[in-house]
Amino acid sequence: MKPQPKTLLLGLMLLCLSWASTAAARNDRSFTRPTCISSSTNSIKITQVVFSDTATIVSFRAKPGYNFRIAAETYLLGEDRRRYKALRGEGITLGEYITAQSEEDADFKVLFEPLPRKTRFFDFIESMAWGYFCFYGVHEEGKAPKVPKKHDRFVMTPELEQEFFKADTACVKGHIEGYSRNRGYTTLLFTQSNSMTDESKPLTVDVREDGSFEFRFLAYHPIDGQLIANHNGSTDFFSFYAVPGQTTELTVKPDCSTEYISAPSGPFARKASLEYDYNNYCVYPYMEYYNDSKASDIKGFTEVAMQKMHRILALVDYLSWRVGYTPWERHLAECQARMVYGDKVLFNLRDQLFNFPKGTTQEEFDKIKQAARDTSAYRFMREMPCNDVACLTVRDFKVFINYYEFSPALRPELASMVVHNSAYIAMQDSAKMAQDMAVAGMGSRPSFLGQVALLRQMAGDFTYDYRNAPLVYDSVYANRLAYMNHEGLRTQAALVHEKARQRTSLTYTLPDTKGADILRALTDKYRGKYLLIDFWGMSCGPCRSAIEQSKPIRESLRQHPDIDFLFISDDNDSNEELYQEYVNKNLDGEDVVRVPRADFNRLMELFNFLGIPHYETLDRQGNVVRDGLHIYGTDEDFLDRLNRLKSELGE
């Protein structure tokens, strides 16, 4: 039959549309074997990328049984550094958690605004807050982006080091976007941590009803800090960067990422690395570390860890180029990457001495110990920033220096005894610093890290032992100071010494602070007795264990005329029903109180503690007793300690 004109026209139109659609499909580009320079997860992987005129489609495969979500705010960072927003998901709803039950439902896609067809690489950014997915340098296999080899290096000159250690007040102003009292917290907690002396002091930060906050603290050098919000049984972390003598202004986004209104300036300024934080990708996930460490011996694991460190250093190069890190920012990122992998090697070396297989013979253990103490096992330390004061700024320094100072390398066997004798302590120090020089390869002087380790030990010794032997530790101070050639460390050593000299009394009066007012309101009724305060929580296993073990002692002392007990927890720690059930069973007859989390934060600030269980003792006048009482052993042991305390106080 001869077609009618209208029918013929419709057919031609459909044919044209089909040709256009086929031509458009032919023009689509794709990465069929996509890979990336680095990613923050191995739980999902990119399987294909399609570039079309209407969308860029990124296909994924998830591990079966893995619970995850992709945030609605996810974007792609194109070669042009422009952000291309997520449009929708296929097989997933953006912002909602899903679990892939099997291989069949493990595939999903996310559609984004269309990248240019000629795109060679891009970054997938879910968020720059901690714990979110990021895939850096996504490209077709074999076509990695070319990162410039040459870049300006940051050099810490003597003049810059002097400015770096210039102590002053730092100010942080912020606003929590979308905040309301319904979030369950009215305060934040900031840990003022001095890594040079291993001293930490909680600072309570009030959050106003509009979500704004402001606090000041004494900073001894630029710091990469965190604020903690405890609420409704969970914890949020808000990052910030501060420089002594300057003000940082920021906004905390709903995903806990930080947007900076103004950041510190000068030689230690940061901008790009605050927007694209190196802390989010300079990581060695614990399970990955665990599998690597169990698969080989000390030497083998060290080689694996250093190989992975160099891959992260390549990522540092990539992101420094991509987002425009300054030489200072790149230097900090490199320090963080090196220390993250270095501290895992140090942890592994120490772990060998404590977690050897059951049934290990003495001969086998001696070999393990020898391998963990052998200086050749520490050659990786030559790749660490051992003589770089800038490492104090990075977040992982506290972990790294802790593992280093307690590593087999710096713990010679002669150091196992505690003797209040200046000559013996000097011999210990000499052995440790000799080991540091052998390990860190610094020639005739201990490395900066070795000097910090010695300063941290001095701070601990002086806190607990100076009052018992001041003349001995005055000599120890002079000997240790001679090892330190960095003025910032010498200043800290002098502060440690002066604090110890002022802390020779057995008791001290409560200061005039909000925390002290809260404590007085809780404890004034106990005046005339010694009061042992137990700060505890339902979520703390050691707290509950200590309470349960001390129950017989407390029951035998319930009618004692000289001692009372008070148990303080925060009302955010667990639900009321579980709390009351536990108290009825294990603290029946005791004085227990739950305070708001804001009040608990102020009590932490008052007594400078960051974890529980924590114990404090008040004398009959309500003064705080240094080196107070603890409930352990038998009731006779406890009464003996109480009687010795009364004797020391002249009763």
Q: Residues 181, 198: one domain?
A: yes
Q: Residues 495, 516: one domain?
A: no
Q: Residues 644, 570: one domain?
A: yes
Q: Which of 470, 486, 502 is the last residue of a domain?
A: 502
- 20 pLDDT exceeds 50? no
Task: Kindly give, in sequence order, each residue whose CB lies less than 8 Å from that of residue 13, ignoring residues fewer than 6 positions away.
Answer: none
Q: Which of 114-123, 254-263, 285-294 has the lowest mean pLDDT?
A: 285-294
Q: Residues 494, 522: one domain?
A: no
Q: What average pLDDT does this structure show over 199-221?
A: 95
What is the rounded CA–CA span in Å between residue 62 and residue 235?
A: 27
> Is residue 605 within 8 Å of 205, Cβ to Cβ?
no
What is the rounded CA–CA span in Å between residue 439 and residue 384?
A: 11
In this prediction, residue 26 has a pLDDT band, given cuts at 50, 70 and 90, of low
What is the rounded CA–CA span in Å between residue 318 and residue 334?
A: 12
pLDDT for 353 equals 73
- Domain carrying residue 447: 286-502
Q: Residues 438, 298: one domain?
A: yes
- As given in the structure block, the two tokens for residue 494 are 């002098």
pLDDT for 15 equals 47
pLDDT for 413 equals 56
What is the rounded CA–CA span in Å between residue 93 and residue 99?
A: 12
**% of the chain residues with pLDDT over 70:** 94
- 39 pLDDT exceeds 70? yes
- 116 pLDDT exceeds 90? yes
> Is residue 608 within 8 Å of 202, Cβ to Cβ?
yes
Domain of residue 583, CATH code: 3.40.30.10
Torsions phi, psi of 553, nearest 5?
Answer: -65, -45
What is the rounded CA–CA span in Å between residue 563 and residue 485?
A: 50
**% of the chain residues with pLDDT over 90:** 63
pLDDT, tens digit, for every residue of 132-149? 889 999 999 999 999 988
Q: Residues 496, 370: one domain?
A: yes
- 630 pLDDT exceeds 90? no
Residue ranges with strand state E in 454-546:
507-508, 530-535
| 281 in any annotated domain | no
Q: Residues 532, 637: one domain?
A: yes
Q: Which of 487, 502, 517 is the last residue of a domain?
A: 502
What is the rounded CA–CA span in Å between residue 565 and residue 345?
A: 44
Q: Which of 18-27, 48-57, 385-394, 620-629 has the lowest mean pLDDT?
A: 18-27
Q: Which helix (H) or strand (E) holds 569?
A: strand 563-570
pLDDT, tens digit, for every residue of 541-590? 999 999 999 999 899 888 899 999 999 999 887 788 889 999 999 999 89
Torsions phi, psi of 284, nearest 5?
Answer: -125, 95
pLDDT for 282 equals 87
Largest CA distance in the chain: 122
> Is residue 556 within 8 Å of 550, Cβ to Cβ?
no
Q: Which of 75, 109, 140 is the last residue of a domain?
A: 140
| Domains held by the chain: number | 4
- As given in the structure block, the two tokens for residue 89 are 């998901």
- 162 pLDDT exceeds 50? yes
- 228 pLDDT exceeds 60? yes
Q: Residues 435, 568: one domain?
A: no
Domain of residue 128, CATH code: 2.60.40
- Report the chain's mean pLDDT, rounded to a whole number: 89
Query: Comparing 89 with 651, which gets the higher pLDDT?
Result: 89
pLDDT, tens digit, for every residue of 337-391? 999 999 999 998 888 777 766 777 878 777 777 777 777 889 999 999 999 999 9
Whole-Å CA distances, 155 to 96, 162, 447, 545, 553: 46, 13, 17, 51, 60
What is the rounded CA–CA span in Å between residue 61 and residue 513?
A: 55
In this prediction, residue 171 has a pLDDT band, given cuts at 50, 70 and 90, of very high
DSSP code string of 342-375: HHHHHHHHHHHHH-PPTT--HHHHHHHHHHHH-G
| 65 in any annotated domain | yes
Q: Residues 315, 452: one domain?
A: yes
| 8 in any annotated domain | no
pLDDT, tens digit, for every residue of 310-339? 999 999 999 999 999 999 999 999 999 999
Q: Which helix (H) or strand (E) holds 487?
A: helix 487-502
Q: Residues 445, 544: one domain?
A: no
| 2 in any annotated domain | no
Which pairing describes strands 530-535 and 563-570: parallel, antiparallel, or unpaired?
parallel
195 DSSP assignment: T
| 16 in any annotated domain | no
Q: What average pLDDT does this structure show over 190-219?
A: 94
In this prediction, residue 464 has a pLDDT band, given cuts at 50, 70 and 90, of confident
pLDDT for 418 equals 58
Q: Is 444 helix (H, G, I), strand (E, B) or coil?
A: coil
pLDDT, tens digit, for every residue of 583-611? 999 999 899 999 999 999 999 999 988 88
Three-state SS sequence of 17-78: HHHHHHHHHHHCEEECCEECCEECCCCEEEEEEEECCCCEEEEEEECCCCEECCCCCCEEEC
Query: CA nearest 521: which of 457, 587, 566?
Result: 566
- 478 pLDDT exceeds 50? yes
Q: Residues 450, 308: one domain?
A: yes
Paired residues of 6 in beta bridges: none
What is the rounded CA–CA span in Å between residue 48 and residue 393?
A: 39
| 613 in any annotated domain | yes
- As given in the structure block, the two tokens for residue 119 are 């795109």
Q: Which helix (H) or strand (E) holds 615?
A: strand 614-618
- 90 pLDDT exceeds 80? yes
What is the rounded CA–CA span in Å between residue 281 and residue 128?
A: 10
Q: Which helix (H) or strand (E) holds 288?
A: helix 286-294
Q: What angle do CA 171, 222, 151 make, to 5 degrees?
A: 130
Query: Comparing 20 with 38, which gets the higher pLDDT?
Result: 38
Q: Which helix (H) or strand (E) holds 330?
A: helix 327-354
pLDDT, tens digit, for every residue of 502-543? 887 889 999 999 999 999 999 999 999 999 999 999 989 999
| 385 in any annotated domain | yes
Q: What single-letter amino acid sits at 9?
A: L
What is the rounded CA–CA span in Å between residue 636 and residue 642?
A: 10
Q: Residues 416, 396: one domain?
A: yes
| 347 in any annotated domain | yes
Q: How many helices (H) and strands (E) does the chain have?
A: 17, 26
pLDDT for 159 equals 96
pTM confidence score:
0.83
